[in-house]
Amino acid sequence: MTQTTFPSSLSLLEQAWEYCVDTTQRSALFLDVMRERGNISIAHAQNGKPPLLAFDYELLIDGRDLSQPCNYMLLRVLSPVKINTDETKRPYVIIDPRAGHGAGIGGFKADSQVGVALRAGHPVYFVGFYPDPVPSQRLRDVMQAEALFIEEVIRRHPKASGKPCIIGNCQAGWAVAGLAALRPEIMGPIVLNGAPLSYWAGSDQQNPMRYAGGVNGGSWLAALTADLGGGVFDGAHLVKNFENLNPANTLWGKPYHLYANIDSEAPRYLEFERWWGGHFRMTGSEIEAIVNQLFIGNKLASGQIQTPDGSSLNLRKITSPIVVFASWGDDITPPAQALNWIIDLYGHESAIVEEGQIIVYLLHKDVGHLGIFVGGKVARKQHAELVNVMDMVEALPPGLYEMVIDTKAADLPYSELEQGDYTVSFETRTIEQLRQVDPDTREDEAIFSTVAQVSEINDAIYKNTLRPVLQAFITPEMGEWSRKLNPDNLKRYAYSDFNPLMAGVALQASQIRQYRQPVSADNIFLNLEKQTSGLIIDALNTYRDLRNAATVSFVKTVYGPLGLGAFFPPAAPVEEKTREVAEQRLDTLKADAGPQFEAGGFTEGLARLFVLAMHHSGGIERRSFLIGESIKTSLQEIDPAQWRKAVEEQTLLITLDSARSLATLPKLLKTLAERKRALEIVGTVTMLTPELEDENSPLAIKAKELLGVKTSRAKTAAKKVS
């Protein structure tokens, strides 16, 4: 039996004195870091709050000078000395979100989206923005500016291997999706990182933020806030909403982590706080459009947003490949909000294939919302691999895929083809499998339909009663003072050299650093401090959970079928109509496709065999793509455009009826020589050669029965690669 040893009275006094000295010093140093934070924020504001990129850049286009001006800008990121940029490679355009903070998270440090694209040799451009919007600026003005930016990038790279890859982070993600639907001809692949497109989706426990609109009675509060700001919406309000999601971290966890690690944490903390506290602004028109049409209205995926010419913004007009990166640890944009729009838009995977569309999603198991953009590990793994596979994404057969990144095993075949520590695969998925990504059913989304209807009424009442009074009374100067006096803005002035009461803090901190006496790690009072901190965090988390549960309960009660839902019944789910249309279209395609199953020659047969092999394997590896690149010289008689057309056609036929596609394959590969050659090529590329060589394997038996080919011949082509 072990016995607990308690410190002696003398030892206890010594530890108490040691702890008192340390905590007094830490408190003074903590105060000095707060002072530095305030000074940095003030200096950043005086410099115009430029984008916080870890790279040098040059301004190419200032959106304020355009015929329809806005506060956006196009920057060319300059390569560091040791990195060479290949101007013939596909350019990357990274667009940061304007959601309360300034621009920079896409290139916040060397290991970032900007950094990995530069290291891969790509020209990189960055779309940032100024702190203040142009008066009367609208979302359509921003969209037109971004289109001009992309056109300028294309003009600068006439010999590029492909159209620019456009990366949209968070809020910029849905903006990129909208632009891709309106201007598909200028877009290369688009990557949507942590971007919400299905705003009603999510889980009650993990994503309570979606209920906020119901508590507030809809979007009228956003309009009121903008009017109180003289027609300008302060991004500090959005930042505060983010912070309120996790009160334990905001009120205690983040400041305590700095306090507990004051000797080492200050540089990282100050670097982040410069961005976090650099609040940016929107016009009232912008914030109202965002709240009404997206977060409360959920009109993007359903095609209810009207474009300037009066047509509907239809995401099915996007022709470039779409990559969606989401995380299970993201409580701002959970996977359901990032992905459910695909279900609502297409209804069935056959609709994706018919339109020749490629949609890939990538799920992280636990990183938070900000970690998607600024996490170094995420940049080195997920973002780096996304850059590496973008050409492959464009070459995939049409359909829905999940991108999977695994650490390379020691015995992985052809592992030398993939540089680095990871192997990448694209696993085929169906719409039904995508539905399983949402941990909860979508039944509660009906409540948000009622919330949207009530919101429209409240918004109309506000705009026809109180708004005219406020707009007549509040001047732009009053709005500016309201922003300056915002507590989140004011505290940075209070804890800075701007405040005379902070005089002497820097000198005191400097002296303490010279005579710093940190407490020993086994100090009993330090351990008690850590335990107390844990209890505080647990208490705040309990408060958060109770608050969230009360919020969910309130909204469901007020807007449910026994509340306002009885007067404003929810509209039928978009998914139901889309699924019905997709299934009807599927039946029509099946009925009309009969002759197509037997039409074609070697190119079509090879394409069909390749896609069938993909489905047999459940997807395709990056190694297969690289193997295909190495042997394509043996297929010079096949035109690349003809091959792409054949792959799209055969993928649709297989989606319609895979059994018939397989049974009619001999009609396309008419001779024994063609069948042998096709099996050799496909077996090599898909790395199924070992299975084909085993004459007793189901695959080899099926190949022999169907094509009359001894599959041991597959090793011939395999030897050419190995």
- The 3-state DSSP class for residue 352 equals helix
Q: pLDDT confidence of 443, banded at 50, 70, 90?
A: confident
Asked whether 211 and 552 are in contact (CB, 8 A), the reply is yes
Distance (Å, rounded) from C-alpha 499 to C-alpha 503?
A: 8
For residue 530, being part of any structural domain is answered with no
pLDDT of the residue at 70 = 98
pLDDT of the residue at 610 = 93
**Total domains present in the chain:** 2
Radius of gyration of the chain measured on its C-alpha atoms:
29
For residue 565, being part of any structural domain is answered with no
For residue 463, being part of any structural domain is answered with no
For residue 464, being part of any structural domain is answered with no
**Of the candidate ranges 7-11, 310-314, 638-642, the one whose mean pLDDT is the lowest:** 7-11
Residue 295 has pLDDT above 50, yes or no: yes
Distance (Å, rounded) from C-alpha 232 to C-alpha 234?
A: 6
The string of DSSP letters for 509-536 reads HHHHHHT--PPPTT-HHHHHHHHHHHHH
pLDDT of the residue at 270 = 96
The boundaries of the domain holding residue 709 are 593-721
pLDDT of the residue at 3 = 55
Residue 722 has pLDDT above 50, yes or no: no
Residue 618 has pLDDT above 70, yes or no: yes
For residue 703, being part of any structural domain is answered with yes
CA dihedral 658, 661, 663, 668 (to 10 degrees): -160
Q: Which whole number is the average pLDDT over 419-437? A: 93
Residues 569-617 have pLDDT tens digits of 999 999 999 999 999 999 999 999 889 999 999 999 999 999 999 999 9
Residue 716 has pLDDT above 50, yes or no: no
pLDDT of the residue at 10 = 63
Say which residue the tokens 């060479």 belong to. Answer: 84
In the chain, the amino acid numbered 414 is Y
For residue 127, being part of any structural domain is answered with yes
Write the secondary structure of 175-211 as one string of H (helix), E (strand) and C (coil): HHHHHHHHCHHHCCCEEEECCCCCCCCCCCCCCHHHH
For residue 295, being part of any structural domain is answered with yes
pLDDT of the residue at 711 = 65
Residues 152-186 have pLDDT tens digits of 999 999 999 999 999 999 999 999 999 999 999 99
User: Of 435, 462, 483, which residue sits at a domain end?
Assistant: 435
Residue 718 has pLDDT above 50, yes or no: no
Residues 459-489 have pLDDT tens digits of 999 999 999 999 999 999 999 999 999 999 8
Strands 358-364 and 399-407 come out as parallel
pLDDT of the residue at 393 = 97
Q: Count other Cβ atoms within 10 Å, centred on residue 329.
A: 15
pLDDT of the residue at 307 = 84
Residues 362-391 have pLDDT tens digits of 999 999 999 999 999 999 999 999 999 999
Determine what percent of the chain is predicted with pLDDT higher than 90.
Answer: 82
Residues 552-569 have pLDDT tens digits of 999 999 999 999 999 999
Determine what percent of the chain is predicted with pLDDT higher than 70.
Answer: 97
User: Of 372, 403, 435, which residue sits at a domain end?
Assistant: 435
- The 3-state DSSP class for residue 28 equals helix
For residue 298, being part of any structural domain is answered with yes
Residues 192-216 have pLDDT tens digits of 999 999 999 988 877 888 898 999 9
Between the CA of residue 127 and those of 77, 148, 190, 248, what are the distances in Å? 10, 11, 15, 33
- The 3-state DSSP class for residue 24 equals helix
Strands 92-95 and 124-129 come out as parallel
Distance (Å, rounded) from C-alpha 254 to C-alpha 244?
A: 13
Helix (H) or strand (E) holding 358: strand 358-364
Q: pLDDT confidence of 8, banded at 50, 70, 90?
A: low
The string of DSSP letters for 570-599 reads PPPPHHHHHHHHHHHHHHHHHHH-GGGGG-
Distance (Å, rounded) from C-alpha 107 to C-alpha 638?
A: 41
Residue 717 has pLDDT above 70, yes or no: no
First to last CA, the chain: 63
Q: pLDDT confidence of 547, banded at 50, 70, 90?
A: very high
Mean pLDDT for the chain?
92
Number of helices (H), then strands (E), belonging to the chain: the values are 34, 13
Distance (Å, rounded) from C-alpha 702 to C-alpha 706?
A: 6
Pick from 673, 674, 693: nearest CA to 683: 693
Q: pLDDT confidence of 255, banded at 50, 70, 90?
A: very high
Task: Give 610 or 702, the one with higher predicted confidence.
Answer: 610
Q: Which whole number is the average pLDDT over 432-452? A: 88
Distance of CA 647 to the CA centre of its chain: 29
**Of the candidate ranges 38-42, 105-109, 256-260, the one whose mean pLDDT is the lowest:** 105-109
User: Of 435, 467, 483, which residue sits at a domain end?
Assistant: 435
- The 3-state DSSP class for residue 562 equals coil
**Of the candidate ranges 181-190, 518-527, 712-721, the one whose mean pLDDT is the lowest:** 712-721
Task: Give 714 or 684, the one with higher predicted confidence.
Answer: 684
Pick from 209, 193, 235: nearest CA to 101: 235
Largest Cα–Cα distance in the chain? 95
